Structure 1
Amino acid sequence: MQVTRLNEVKIYSLSTGPSLPEWISSKKKRAVQKKNVDVRRRIELIQDFNMPTVSTTIKVSRDGQYIMATGTYKPRIRCFDTYQLSLKFERCLDSEVVTFDILSDDYSKIVFLHCDRYIEFHSQHGYYYKTRIPKFGRDFSYHYPSCDLYFVGASSEVYRLNLEQGRYLNSLQTDASENNVCDINPIHCLFATGTAEGKVECWDPRTRNRVGVLDCALSSVTADTEIDGLPSISALKFNGALNMAVGTSTGQILLYDLRSNNPLVIKDHLYGLPIKSILFQDPLDLIISADSRIIKMWNKDTGKIFTSMEPEHAINDVCLYPNSGMLLMANEDPKMNIYYIPVLGPAPRWCSFLDSLTEELEENPESTVYDDYKFVTRKDLENLGLAHLIGSPLLRAYMHGFFMDIKLYHKVKMMVNPFAYEEYRKEKIRQKIEETRAQRVQLKKLPKVNKELALKLIEEEEEQQPARKKKRKNLPNILTDDRFKVMFENPDFQVDEKSEEFRLLNPLVSKISEKRKKKLKILEQQAAQEQEKEEEPEGKPSDAESSETSDDEKGWVEEVRKQRKLIRQEEKVKRQERFKEDQQTTLKPQFFEIKTGEEFRSFKDSVKKQKLTKKTLGDRLKLQEKLGTLSVSDTTVGSKQMSFKLKQSEQQKKQQEAEKQHHQERKNIRRSASHLKSKRGRRRPF
């Protein structure tokens, strides 16, 4: 499931992720789901909600139980049952479907308008009847009071087919050369047709007379629009008794009040593509308009954009599930898209789990964003040795850190610490052993973590025992409570008594804690020597101890001041130590610094030569004589030529002398082998 956000409106795409073919076995499907993360994370809302190649139109029945869609190739219709979340039936047709309509509340009465001028009727069991119209049809509407079907197409006439009588009636003659779309108002049953000349003609079905003509082409043409001719009407939709939205072939939507010739709002998609679908969303006063590239939602009163969606493939048809925030789309792709927008409304009853799912995603947004990336801070990069990647395409800056590829992160982490898994495994084994030991019968002893706190709680419990007996109330004990069990087992919860906050907030606990530490040492020694189940007896505090505590309570202010002075002194000492360490430590060369070595000698020599060329000849000779690297051997050869001879350094002289001496010693020690001769002896018999 993919989540996008535009204008603070979240849009959940429920059709993202790869789809598995129908012909593979269930075993192979499970294997693919284990390997591919995208397949495992996808949400299959309706099983096999797709077409073989392309889906052309999509509609929902009035009862909301069935979703019907047409597509190619081969031409077919598929009906999906939302209660079963699967395919109800599939029927193949003779030719491609231009548009269709569901006349009943369920799928029992369907009318198809084909591209070859045929009109096909289907009932619940399948094909029922087929007839033909004189011209190629483009759209049709059903008039419920008279049971008439109005067909418009590549003709100036509007053909009427009465389903009650089963015959054609007199057609309506319009002034247009062709009619593209039509619609009937559900309240007062006004019939409107959009022409190729950019006009909308309205007819009264009762008298079969034209009651008005609306010229939309002149209102849609502005100085910025570049068109070859007048725009034609490509979409038409009524809303209520007085509102009507008209879509043009140049990408404009005009919202009209039937009592006025001027549009209330003009909205331009700015793509120059014909509008294919217009829908009204009454609870939020929105209009959903779509062309082949984008779906836009905007306010019908102000024209302000609400949100938009731009899918990967071209859009053919859009359908809004009634009384919900679900949007269905047929496009130039086998998979039909499903979008869920919680702002528009709740999820339908058959997929009510989407509401709880989206709420969980909103509570934990980090789990759904950047699943294949790891968020790291600058300190993490320094620990991994990847600080030099800051600013490169491998790191994407985000808030106080960076996003990096999760595969690269795991690879670098394994290189930095290859034994991390072994350490983790040993720690888990140790924890398991400790858990098994805890189940044995053990002596009553203090925990390993926060021993002083545990001893303090034991002492308080023993002091409160007589009071409990009198009141007869069982007060909760932290040591035996499972909620605080980790505090005495996990070393991460160890109380740091050396911290500044603890020392300033608990100045009077210092002497008491020292007494507890002594007592702990005594208990540990006794536990090591004698493994008995007896508890350490406690005596009453002496008069000296009581006087010490009273003195501490009186002079708590002085104790706080002493602790502050000690903290300041410790900070000064730490600063001095850090300063000394900074002076002693030498920074290691970075990857961009020039290191000393044989491979960089030529680079340094070239730099020195460039500096020497800027000086005069006399200054260069003086400088090289001081260094002892050159000596003038011959300066009398001509007036413009000089020759120099390099001097040998003392180290080179010593090395040559040592080599000569070594060769001389080897010559003195060497002995000739001329006196050695080979002698053949006779073999003795056995």
Structure 2
Amino acid sequence: MQVTTAGGVKVYNLSAGKSLPEWISERKRRALLKNDLGLRRRIELLQDFSMPIASTGIQVTADGQYIMASGVYKPRIRCYDVKQLSMKFERCLDAEIVKFHMLSEDYSKFVCLLSDRQLEIHAQYGFYYRTRIPKFGRDLSYHSPSCDLYIVGASSEVYRLNLDQGRYMAPLHTNARSCTVCEINPHHQLLTIGTEQGGVECWDPRSNTRCGQMAVSLDTMDSGGDTTLQPAVTALKYKNSLTLAVGTASGQVNGSKLSEMRVLLYDLRTPTPFLEKDHHYSIPVHSIAFQRSQDLVLSADAKALRIWHCSDGSPFTAIEPEHAINSVCYLPETGMVFMACEDSKMLSYYIPAVGHAPRWCSFLDSLTEELEEAEPVVYDDYKFVTSSDLDTLGLSHLVGTNLLRGYMHGYFMDIRLYHKAKAVSQPFAYREYRKEKIRQKIDEQRASRVKEKKVLRVNSELAKRLMEDTKKTVKDVSNPLGDNRFAAMFSDANFQIDEESEEFRAVHPVLAKAKLKKKKLEEKQADIERGESEEREGRPSDESSSSDEEEERAAWREVARLRRSKMAEEGEKGSVGEEGAKVEMVAVSGGDRLSIQRPSTVSRASLGKRLEREGGASLATPHSSSLGNKEMKFSLKKSEVETTHKQRMRDHRIERRKLGRSAKKILPKTRNTPVFWKGRRVK
């Protein structure tokens, strides 16, 4: 897939890339796909979307499910199924296809106009019927309400073949010597015919009468005097019921060109165009399409496809393929465009700015979005430098010239100029680089023949922490991680971590605090070793402070022991202490006795003891299971109200049981079983 930008709009060529020849074997094909990265990354939107020599026409069916294309050589027509993304069928013909038209919403019925004046009608199963027209045909259109097929060509007559009756009807007689193109308006079924003499005629298919005509005029002056020449009409397309686009070809006077190719937009109610768009090429315009959501016009000649705004004619974007364009097919209300060219490949273009991708290739939307997000900006011939780099190279005087192009906080400059300036400003840079490489080679050789205990010079603290965390014996001290990908982190000075920097402390605050604490501990240990016992900054010495800490810890341990013993005694007695009971504690700092309030012992008692004291349950004997788990079961005592209510319900059921009568003697009523009531038979 190739991406181009024209007018700020990205156009994706889905047919770009290498193609494999058909005559190679399958084994060689797989080998090429395996080794060639370009072949693996190509996007084959439709399988076998090509022709042997060239493609002449391409159309999409009304239901949007099939793509029909014609080409040579041999003359053939191919049908592609977009659901399967592959070719459905291929049919070869006896002559080259000039135009073909779809008669149904799918591929089942279509007609081909051949270059040998033949009309071939095809059905779903294949060829159906062939007929001949008097003159060479150039274009054809189908009027579905009357089943009339209109054919225009090198004649003033418009041939009319009725497909319902299977015979030719009376032709339409135009005012021109020959006709070039015809189009039927889908809104009001008006037949529009373009002539070689620059005229446009409108016919009513209901009465087969001419209802209007206009001339695409071009006033020029030649050596013989004043004449009015009109360019030939080569393309017609309706936007709606009133707007008509006319594509033209320039006229000639004594071999001199009269005008550029242009597209004219007409309102059928006025004879003058309200907009003209020049193509600036001496090639006739052969294809026109409309994009209604953004009000765009797509017009194509053999050189390029131009997309422009319908309101003012301002350009939107353009596509110029390598080969001549024969036909253009635009999928309505999408961004997909197909081209039939003078090449074996039929081109597929996707323009996200024009519309979204069709449903059958919706993956193109996500693919193009990812490409836009991850698209790298690569400048192979340019070097990005900052202002400080320019000062180092001595090129600050070039700021503001064409040699430097400003970009963000620096500049882009030619890579050749950068290398020359660096060689002049740093003449010994290569010598230093060579010395560094030689030193590295010597160190590698020494390490291979002299086995000594290696001491890391780069990131030694990090290596110690890694070895302490892993708690494993590291064979190679020079690479504590054991991964060759990160070996340079402990040997190359460029990877040195500055643990004293503010950035490191901000990212690793815990590590910085631990390092500071370790540093203070080392200083304190050094003071103890030197025998410094004096107080620092008004604080007591280390010996006195350590003795006080030991006494404080011993006092707290004694208090905890007394509390545990008292709680154990209360649990054995099964009594609950009074609220607000007091426990005497010895203060750490002196001999004064302090009394503090302790919480009630009710909350500390076990569940079984609390239930037993309240009289609401009877405690069963605890027992141990085979797995060592202990279990204790409680049986809740029911209250007097519950017992009385339960007894009343029991007596009530007994009473109801005595009063109830058995239903065993009652027989069901059936058709043959009589029913008696008080000794009488009831019907």
Consecutive unaligned residues in structure 1, runs of 5 or more: 428-432, 450-486, 524-540, 547-686
Q: Distance in 2 between matches of 1:120 and 1:545?
A: 114
Partner SS, residue 284 of structure 1:
coil
Q: Distance in 2 between matches of 1:365 and 1:504?
A: 33
Seen in structure 2, the aligned counterparts of structure 1 residues 344 and 19 have a Cα distance that, compared at 3 Å, is same
Residues 134-192 of structure 1 show CA distances to partners (whole Å, capped at 9, x for unaligned) of 10000010001101000000000000000000000000000100000000000111101
Aligned to 2:588: none
1:203 is the counterpart of 2:203: yes
Counterparts of residues 112-123 of structure 1 (less than 5 Å): 112-123=112-123
Partner SS, residue 31 of structure 1:
helix
Letter of the 1:139 partner, please give it. D
Aligned to 1:364: 374
Compare 514-523 and 140-149 and name the one that shifted more: 514-523
How far 1:248 moved relative to its partner? 0.4
Aligned to 1:106: 106
Q: Distance in 2 between matches of 1:545 and 1:353?
A: 77
How far 1:441 moved relative to its partner? 5.3
Partner SS, residue 344 of structure 1:
coil
2:270 aligned residue (231, 238, 260) = 260
How far 1:416 moved relative to its partner? 11
Aligned to 1:160: 160
Question: So what's the TM-score if we normalise by structure 2?
Answer: 0.59
How far 1:24 moved relative to its partner? 1.9
1:285 is the counterpart of 2:287: no
How far 1:29 moved relative to its partner? 2.2
How far 1:102 moved relative to its partner? 1.2
Partner SS, residue 43 of structure 1:
coil
Aligned to 1:328: 338
Letter of the 1:237 partner, please give it. K
1:303 is the counterpart of 2:327: no
Partner SS, residue 38 of structure 1:
helix
How far 1:500 moved relative to its partner? 7.5
Partner SS, residue 218 of structure 2:
helix
Contact 1:197 1:217 in 2 (8 A): no
Residues 578-599 of structure 1 show CA distances to partners (whole Å, capped at 9, x for unaligned) of xxxxxxxxxxxxxxxxxxxxxx
Backbone CA RMSD of aligned residues: 4.8
Letter of the 2:319 partner, please give it. M
Letter of the 1:214 partner, please give it. M
How far 1:220 moved relative to its partner? 11
Seen in structure 2, the aligned counterparts of structure 1 residues 228 and 262 have a Cα distance that, compared at 3 Å, is closer
Residues 549-594 of structure 1 show CA distances to partners (whole Å, capped at 9, x for unaligned) of xxxxxxxxxxxxxxxxxxxxxxxxxxxxxxxxxxxxxxxxxxxxxx
Contact 1:54 1:332 in 2 (8 A): yes
Partner SS, residue 241 of structure 1:
coil
Q: Distance in 2 between matches of 1:315 and 1:184?
A: 24
Seen in structure 2, the aligned counterparts of structure 1 residues 503 and 318 have a Cα distance that, compared at 3 Å, is closer
Seen in structure 2, the aligned counterparts of structure 1 residues 30 and 243 have a Cα distance that, compared at 3 Å, is same
How far 1:299 moved relative to its partner? 1.0
Contact 2:291 2:333 in 1 (8 A): no
Counterparts of residues 476-487 of structure 1 (less than 5 Å): none
2:282 aligned residue (272, 276, 295) = 272
Q: Distance in 2 between matches of 1:262 and 1:52?
A: 44
Residues 24-77 of structure 1 show CA distances to partners (whole Å, capped at 9, x for unaligned) of 233322322344333233211111211101100000111111111000111011
Contact 1:239 1:280 in 2 (8 A): yes
Q: Distance in 2 between matches of 1:120 and 1:205?
A: 23
How far 1:362 moved relative to its partner? 1.0
Partner SS, residue 360 of structure 2:
helix
Please identify which structure carries the higher helix content.
1
Question: So what's the TM-score if we normalise by structure 1?
Answer: 0.59
Seen in structure 2, the aligned counterparts of structure 1 residues 503 and 53 have a Cα distance that, compared at 3 Å, is closer
Residues 450-508 of structure 1 show CA distances to partners (whole Å, capped at 9, x for unaligned) of xxxxxxxxxxxxxxxxxxxxxxxxxxxxxxxxxxxxx99x99997635558889999xx
Contact 1:64 1:322 in 2 (8 A): no
Q: Distance in 2 between matches of 1:104 and 1:513?
A: 83
Seen in structure 2, the aligned counterparts of structure 1 residues 233 and 504 have a Cα distance that, compared at 3 Å, is closer
Seen in structure 2, the aligned counterparts of structure 1 residues 512 and 170 have a Cα distance that, compared at 3 Å, is closer
Consecutive unaligned residues in structure 2, runs of 5 or more: 251-260, 420-429, 449-455, 457-462, 480-488, 526-535, 542-683
1:342 aligned residue (352, 356, 363) = 352
Contact 1:155 1:179 in 2 (8 A): yes
Seen in structure 2, the aligned counterparts of structure 1 residues 156 and 543 have a Cα distance that, compared at 3 Å, is farther
Residues 376-417 of structure 1 show CA distances to partners (whole Å, capped at 9, x for unaligned) of 5459xx9xxx999xx9xxx99894346879xx9xxx999997
Seen in structure 2, the aligned counterparts of structure 1 residues 510 and 187 have a Cα distance that, compared at 3 Å, is closer
Partner SS, residue 269 of structure 2:
coil
Counterparts of residues 373-384 of structure 1 (less than 5 Å): 373=380, 376-378=383-385
Letter of the 2:7 partner, please give it. N
Contact 1:246 1:255 in 2 (8 A): yes
Aligned to 1:462: none
Seen in structure 2, the aligned counterparts of structure 1 residues 125 and 415 have a Cα distance that, compared at 3 Å, is farther
Letter of the 1:43 partner, please give it. I
Q: Distance in 2 between matches of 1:518 and 1:214?
A: 100
Aligned to 2:169: 169
Aligned to 2:518: 516
Counterparts of residues 485-496 of structure 1 (less than 5 Å): 496=498
User: How many correspondences in the alignment?
Assistant: 460
1:144 is the counterpart of 2:144: yes
Aligned to 1:36: 36
Contact 1:378 1:387 in 2 (8 A): no
Residues 507-550 of structure 1 show CA distances to partners (whole Å, capped at 9, x for unaligned) of xx999965433547999xxxxxxxxxxxxxxxxx997499xxxx
Partner SS, residue 366 of structure 1:
coil
Seen in structure 2, the aligned counterparts of structure 1 residues 387 and 42 have a Cα distance that, compared at 3 Å, is farther
Partner SS, residue 121 of structure 2:
strand
Contact 1:75 1:97 in 2 (8 A): yes
How far 1:124 moved relative to its partner? 0.9
Seen in structure 2, the aligned counterparts of structure 1 residues 402 and 90 have a Cα distance that, compared at 3 Å, is farther
Letter of the 1:364 partner, please give it. A
Contact 1:137 1:151 in 2 (8 A): yes
Aligned to 1:8: 8
How far 1:338 moved relative to its partner? 0.5
Aligned to 1:319: 329
Compare 210-219 and 186-195 and name the one that shifted more: 210-219
- Specify the structure having the higher radius of gyration (Cα): 2
Seen in structure 2, the aligned counterparts of structure 1 residues 503 and 174 have a Cα distance that, compared at 3 Å, is closer
Letter of the 2:266 partner, please give it. Y
Aligned to 2:584: none
Contact 1:66 1:82 in 2 (8 A): yes
Q: Distance in 1 between matches of 2:220 and 2:244?
A: 15
Q: Distance in 1 between matches of 2:540 and 2:229?
A: 105
Aligned to 1:476: none
Contact 1:217 1:232 in 2 (8 A): no
Partner SS, residue 203 of structure 2:
strand
Aligned to 1:58: 58
Contact 1:162 1:168 in 2 (8 A): yes
Contact 1:12 1:341 in 2 (8 A): yes
Q: Distance in 2 between matches of 1:9 and 1:163?
A: 45
How far 1:374 moved relative to its partner? 7.9
Aligned to 1:650: none
Partner SS, residue 376 of structure 2:
helix
Seen in structure 2, the aligned counterparts of structure 1 residues 387 and 281 have a Cα distance that, compared at 3 Å, is farther
Aligned to 2:244: 244
Letter of the 2:138 partner, please give it. R
Percent identical pairs in the alignment equals: 51
Q: Distance in 1 between matches of 2:192 and 2:512?
A: 91
Seen in structure 2, the aligned counterparts of structure 1 residues 519 and 239 have a Cα distance that, compared at 3 Å, is same
How far 1:350 moved relative to its partner? 1.3
Q: Distance in 2 between matches of 1:21 and 1:137?
A: 36
Aligned to 2:46: 46
Q: Distance in 2 between matches of 1:504 and 1:440?
A: 25
Contact 1:178 1:195 in 2 (8 A): yes
Aligned to 2:127: 127
Seen in structure 2, the aligned counterparts of structure 1 residues 138 and 362 have a Cα distance that, compared at 3 Å, is same
Q: Distance in 2 between matches of 1:112 and 1:504?
A: 77
